[in-house]
Amino acid sequence: MIRKIPVIGYRISLAALVSGVTGFFSRGDRDEFRDILAGFVQCRHSCLVNSGISAFYLALLALKKISRRTEVILPAYTAPSLVVAVKKAGLKPVLCDISLKDFNMDMHAARQQVSRKTLCIVCVHMFGIPAGDIVRFKHGLPEDVFLIEDCAQAMGSEIAGRPVGGFGDLSIFSFNRGKNLPAAGGGGIFTNSGVLAPVMEEVAGELSVPGPGYELRLFLGFVCLFILFRPFYYSLLYPLVCRFRDEGVPEDFTAEGYTSLQAGLGKSLFEGFGESCMQRYENAMALIDALGNMKGIILPCIRDDLLPAFNRLPVLIESPESRKRAEKELMRNGIGVSGLYFRPLHHIFDLGYSKREFPNAVYLAERLLTLPSHPLVDKETLEKMSALIGKVLS
């Protein structure tokens, strides 16, 4: 049996499982976990909800309550569910291209899309790589254009020693199974704005909290993760697991409240969080070092003032043919890799753009391979990944 490593992972202890069960009975865990997160993100106000996409949706509803503007600027390569949320909120998605330097939104392109209709700009810290120029970008925006930081993939990443999530007017996080803190799903909205906080609390306060049946399903899902985030069991169960891969585009979602069970699990998982972020950083930087001299590969440029808690390491393989071969070769050798979202947003949704627009986003989608960087990836696997990619590119 070849040892297999999933593209996502986290060390989940038995103690975390037990905490989930105790959290189920202790309603105070929700407030405690919310306060822990708010302290970590360095934001005074926060609300927890059932998913990252619900958090984003509620952030938009909150902004809608204080502004009549209707357009939301998004990078052309990011999570498709963001478009679903923008439309559900009755707003219009407007796209801008990305940068091939750090694979994040091209700040200049985003600025050019700002008009009198712009409600907000969504700066997504993709793959865990912080958008390093966010402070300067925010200062250059008109006061009535809001900045939402999407930190779903970047919890634990830092810019000049400050964690992402406190740079925008509002920020959102996700705790789903593929994220840096996979606490049985859920999401959070954070802000330091005394004006936005009551509106955010008002919209989140209208949500109903799902019942015990839902919590039980969440818990069973978490037990599955507990098992599958162990390479031995992942390898054993792989033929079953790969049938459950979900690569479809979401059509809708339901915004609901956050449960005590999730808070109990989240609180316990958070104990190892700092260390896991450092491992993500070290693993990805070791790969960047090993792949750095190879021809035919584009790596993200990581500035010295950034400390990314890489959710995965994104690399672009210049020849789409070689990219396919590298993916096949890595998978054949038990290393879970993925293209993440296979198309840019304007190729998935009809948003009124030609397919040729946003050429960097199109280029990236055709060449992207994301490599695992989570704490379960050992030195041997890192070496194997770079050797296999080197073989394909030589």
Ligand X SMILES: Cc1ncc(COP(=O)(O)O)c(C=O)c1O
Which residues make up the interface to ligand X (CB under 6 A)? 51-53, 56, 78-79, 81-82, 124, 150, 152-153, 174, 176, 187
Number of C-beta neighbours around residue 190 at 10 A: 29
Per-position b or e across 92-106, b if 16+ CB within 10 A of its CB: bbbbbbbbbebbbbb
Q: Residue 336 in 3-state DSSP?
A: coil
Tokens of 353: 């753009």
Closer CB to ligand X, 120 or 152, in the complex: 152
Closer CB to ligand X, 209 or 290, in the complex: 209
Contacts of 304 (CB under 8 A, 6+ apart): none
Distance CA 180, CA 47 (A): 19
Closer CB to ligand X, 78 or 283, in the complex: 78
Minimum distance from CB of 165 to ligand X (Å)? 13
Closer CB to ligand X, 53 or 316, in the complex: 53
Minimum distance from CB of 140 to ligand X (Å)? 23
Q: Are strands 158-159 and 162-163 parallel, antiparallel or unpaired?
A: antiparallel
Closer CB to ligand X, 86 or 297, in the complex: 86
Distance CA 7, CA 1 (A): 18
Minimum distance from CB of 134 to ligand X (Å)? 15
**Any idea what DSSP says for residue 335?**
B
Q: Residue 344 in 3-state DSSP?
A: coil
Closer CB to ligand X, 23 or 52, in the complex: 52
Distance CA 266, CA 393 (A): 41
Minimum distance from CB of 321 to ligand X (Å)? 28
Q: How many Cα atoms sit within 13 Å of 225 on the Cβ side?
A: 27
Please choose, from the candidates 209, 242, 208, 237, the residue with its C-alpha nearest in 3D space to the C-alpha of residue 223. 237
Provide φ and ψ at 170, rounded to 5°. Answer: -140, 155
Distance CA 257, CA 261 (A): 12
**Any idea what DSSP says for residue 107?**
H
Task: Report the amino acid identity of residue 360.
Answer: N
Minimum distance from CB of 88 to ligand X (Å)? 13
Closer CB to ligand X, 83 or 145, in the complex: 83
Closer CB to ligand X, 59 or 335, in the complex: 59
Minimum distance from CB of 65 to ligand X (Å)? 21
Please choose, from the candidates 205, 96, 113, 120, the residue with its C-alpha nearest in 3D space to the C-alpha of residue 170. 120
DSSP state string for 178-208: TSSS-SSS-EEEEE--TTHHHHHHHHHHTPP
Minimum distance from CB of 49 to ligand X (Å)? 9
Report how far Cα 34 is from the mean position of its chain's Cα atoms.
19
Minimum distance from CB of 129 to ligand X (Å)? 12
Which residue sits closest to ligand X, CB atoms considered?
Answer: 52
Task: Report the amino acid identity of residue 56.
Answer: F
Minimum distance from CB of 85 to ligand X (Å)? 8
Closer CB to ligand X, 290 or 348, in the complex: 348
Closer CB to ligand X, 59 or 109, in the complex: 59
Minimum distance from CB of 244 to ligand X (Å)? 16
